[in-house]
Structure 1
């Protein structure tokens, strides 16, 4: 590949994994638009309702926080965990009223290092994030750790074959077969249901885990 094109694709991949700076603002808007169908499906699959303690891990542009807040109403709570300092700053500005009221909390953290207590959440979603985690088993163990005994975890991923045709995925993405992600969740002690998402241009998959 042309070195200039390779550099551009590497920048795109890096921004998708960790939005930051001036480009990150545009990436946040892109993520909200592009990821909304998957995130909405994940929120529904997680069966989020009033009084629930819910979380979006790797919330990026923040559309998942919006959808979760709508579902928990005034009696539940939402936690957003994000690696990117710029996305945390953006969320603190955009959701200032929800943070003040205590309905929402946003914290810095990663899939393999969640700053959350054991057995603290009823519903957890994380969409288009596991591509950027070298140790998938550690991530699934962390996600399972924070679930309550009747909690629900929904992992959303793009179809790996379709993702492999995107020009930027060779630069920092780890595209795993759906069966491998399912197996990692099962090793973390979850039973897993698989649902297809026939979206275009990239179809997706929801993996819904519950403590066994």
Structure 2
């Protein structure tokens, strides 16, 4: 397995020592898009929030420190990331404000219409069944609740060496069409331009 294929594997499913290394690098590379996604959520103290793909949980701690929401739940496919995030966010877990679980977007362990906000950054490329996966996010959101998705644009990602068969990359229009197909109304979209990549944040509302 070559370097870029190994990197692609770790980006899609971080594991072991190198998974933890990649997660730290992602924290730096994804800071701008995470900050934008979090800002676009317009978090309130009464909010119950779900994050899909929280990696090592750095931005969960940031949300609690800056916005003090009522509750956050996180789902990540990687047991390595769940372990790292639980250590980083132990105080929020002990206060019963946070639950972090290993799992898949395919079958979220939450009741219908449970969350006020759902967000995810750089996971959409790896969803196993995007049409049904976006419906699952719609299911767990309250009516009037917001979904915010951060992703790299097709224009900047399609020539990246680490993008291979594990990635499904999207144009802005393709991502918005996927989100709308589940019954969401697109509210806003914003672009972050950097040397590393052009990152898009799309906000949609469950009507």
1:17 aligns with 2:12: yes
In structure 2, the partner of 1:107 is 101
1:1-212 matches, cutoff 5 A: 7-73=2-68, 76-192=70-186, 193-212=188-207
Q: Secondary structure at the match of 1:41?
A: helix
8 Å contact kept, 1:54–1:68: no
TM-score (norm 2): 0.94
User: Distance in 2 between the 1:63 and 1:91 partners?
Assistant: 7
8 Å contact kept, 1:50–1:71: no
User: Distance in 2 between the 1:46 and 1:71 partners?
Assistant: 13
Q: CA deviation at 1:67?
A: 2.5
Q: Deviations over 1:147-175 (max 9, x none)?
A: 11121100111011111121110241111
8 Å contact kept, 2:192–2:200: yes
Q: 1:36 to 1:179 in 2, by over 3 A?
A: same
8 Å contact kept, 2:57–2:89: no
Q: CA deviation at 1:79?
A: 1.0
The number of equivalent residue pairs is 206
Q: CA deviation at 1:95?
A: 1.1
Q: Secondary structure at the match of 2:146?
A: strand
Q: Which runs of 4+ in 1 moved over 3 A?
A: none
8 Å contact kept, 1:136–1:181: no
User: Distance in 1 between the 2:66 and 2:180 partners?
Assistant: 27
Structure 2: gaps of 5 or more residues: none
8 Å contact kept, 1:53–1:123: yes
Q: CA deviation at 1:72?
A: 4.0
TM-score (norm 1): 0.92
Structure 1: gaps of 5 or more residues: 1-5
Q: CA deviation at 1:117?
A: 1.3
Q: CA deviation at 1:64?
A: 2.5
